[in-house]
Amino acid sequence: MRIRSVLLAVLIVCAFVYFVSVAGWEPGRLFRSVSDTGRLWSEPDRARGAGLSSDELNNVEIYKTANQATVNISTVVYREDWFFRVYPVEGAGSGFLIDEEGRVLTNNHVVAGRGAEIKVILADRSQYDAKILYREPENDLALLKIEPKKKLPFLRLGDSEALQVGQKVLAIGNPFGLGGTLTTGIISSLHRSVPSEDGQGMEDMVQTDAAINPGNSGGPLLDSQGNVIGINTMIVGAANVGIGFALPINQAKAVLEDYR
């Protein structure tokens, strides 16, 4: 019994010496307070970079590609006051390139107005004057054209017929003039009828909880493959409350076919 006790004591001493000299363990380390370190925060003993989840990686990859083909749109339109004096009104919105030649799809209300002067700002901050090729107020759509100095990246138009409530969506645009803003969410409902500002109802709209704010109008609503499945068009209220509406991209494709 005595020999067994001696051996146990020797093992305990050897373990203590190992942890102190070899493993770098310090007595009381587990109970060290923040004040002992001289810092006002605590942190892991060994910092390790946090890996991104598959969903986060998907968001990052889509943004890197889609943001290059999403544009900011600034406008100056002219209106008359009660005394028939003409004055300029500035506006801002979003849009996206649909081909490498510089055609831009957006909402009609983004560029509507008397004598509109339209500028398209690309992701690299280069600016171009734009002209309106075609507009359809009933669907709140407008097709613009710029004359780029090079071939441009563009977005693929997806299929809004197969959308499902609950599927992930991403919105990119220019809310409150903050270009290149990404928000994410899901499709909250489909086939919504929504009254527009001019009193005309818009049918078959896609409802989403992805944050949509003034300035997002005309920007792309994307699926998890980076395809455009809608055009962000309107919100409920003056700013985001988690209820935004996008025009299904199949309606836009039908308008584009009519234009051709």
**The one catalytic residue among 140, 160, 209, 223:** 140
State whether residue 42 is helix, strand or coil. Answer: coil
Angstrom distance (rounded) from CA 102 to CA 152: 7
In the annotation, is 217 catalytic? yes
Among 160, 188, 217, 223, the one annotated catalytic: 217
Q: Is 99 a catalytic residue?
A: no
Beta strand 117-121 with 103-106 is unpaired
The H-assigned helical ranges of 166-248 are: none
Q: Point out the catalytic residue in the list 109, 188, 209, 223.
A: 109
191 included as an active-site residue: no
166-170 contacts, C-beta under 8 A, 24 or more apart: 167/223, 167/224, 168/55, 168/223, 168/224, 169/208, 169/210, 169/221, 169/222, 169/223, 169/229, 169/230, 170/59, 170/62, 170/63, 170/66, 170/210, 170/221, 170/222, 170/223, 170/224
Calculate the CA dihedral of residues 237, 240, 212, 77 and round it to 10 degrees.
Answer: 50
Query: Annotated active-site positions, please?
Result: 109, 140, 217
